[in-house]
Amino acid sequence: MKNVGQQLDLFAGILLTDEQEQMIVEYKERCAKNALYYKHQNERLEQLLLDNGFVKDINFTNNFKIKTETREVSLGSDYKNNRFETEITYETYEGDLRLRGFSFYNGNLEQKEFSIGLDKDKVQCSAIQDQYRYIKPATMLEKLTQHNARQVENYEFYIKKNALKLEIIKKYQTLYPEATVEMKQEWSKYSGAFDVLEVKFKSGSYIQFQLNTYQNKEIFYKKYDAELENMSVEELLNKFSNQ
């Protein structure tokens, strides 16, 4: 489709009108101004963190940069009937400043980067704070340190608990080779879901244990006697009378 207002030069191709040339100039100026604004914001944020005890490449990374890009853009508007497309080389930016930390998830401890916002002389990172309030940078450093320590602690607890699971499973598989020994989940309205080790026999009877990671041992949790459950009331009375 022919662009409105453009003239055709048989030797040089499409010629832009003065209006279109002005639109291109204004677009490039807006892009340069926008890139410069975010450059200054990035520098302010980095300096604010450095002034409050953060160490670059340890507590945060910063890969922000201004770059030159060439691409086809659409300028003007359909309303004014002056929209056109043209290739422009302009200034833009990429990258940002992000906090560095750890994240424990699904049995793995990974290094993560978290986005951080700036408002005047305060910062905000919901992944670290668990809320959206802007706080002092020194307070954010404390929260980042606490967050990382908690993630490492959770990972170490997981490793210890997993090792205990394997140890206890092997123990009961050796003691009762005909039984089915496996981990299951129970639920409590007070503590939510938790793991139990179940030793189940061919009769359907089973014993369940909770794992005490701190004492490194299993603790009796629940039992089920299939034979007892299948007895009639009369059989139960006779059994109890002979105890």
Residue found by looking up tokens 């299993």 in the block: 218
Separation of alpha carbons 197 and 191, rounded Å: 17
Do 115 and 125 meet the contact criterion of CB atoms below 8 Å apart?
A: yes
Separation of alpha carbons 195 and 203, rounded Å: 23
pLDDT in tens, 12-36: 456 889 999 999 999 999 999 999 9
pLDDT in tens, 230-243: 888 888 888 788 87
pLDDT at 8: 46
Question: Coil, strand or helix: which one is 19?
Answer: helix
Mean pLDDT of the 179-202 span:
91
Q: What pTM was computed for the model?
A: 0.72
Residue 4 pLDDT more than 80? Answer: no
pLDDT at 14: 66
Residue 1 pLDDT more than 50? Answer: no
In this structure, what token pair is assigned to residue 219? 């603790």
Residue 173 pLDDT more than 90? Answer: yes
Mean pLDDT of the 159-182 span:
94
pLDDT in tens, 92-123: 999 999 999 999 998 999 999 999 999 999 99
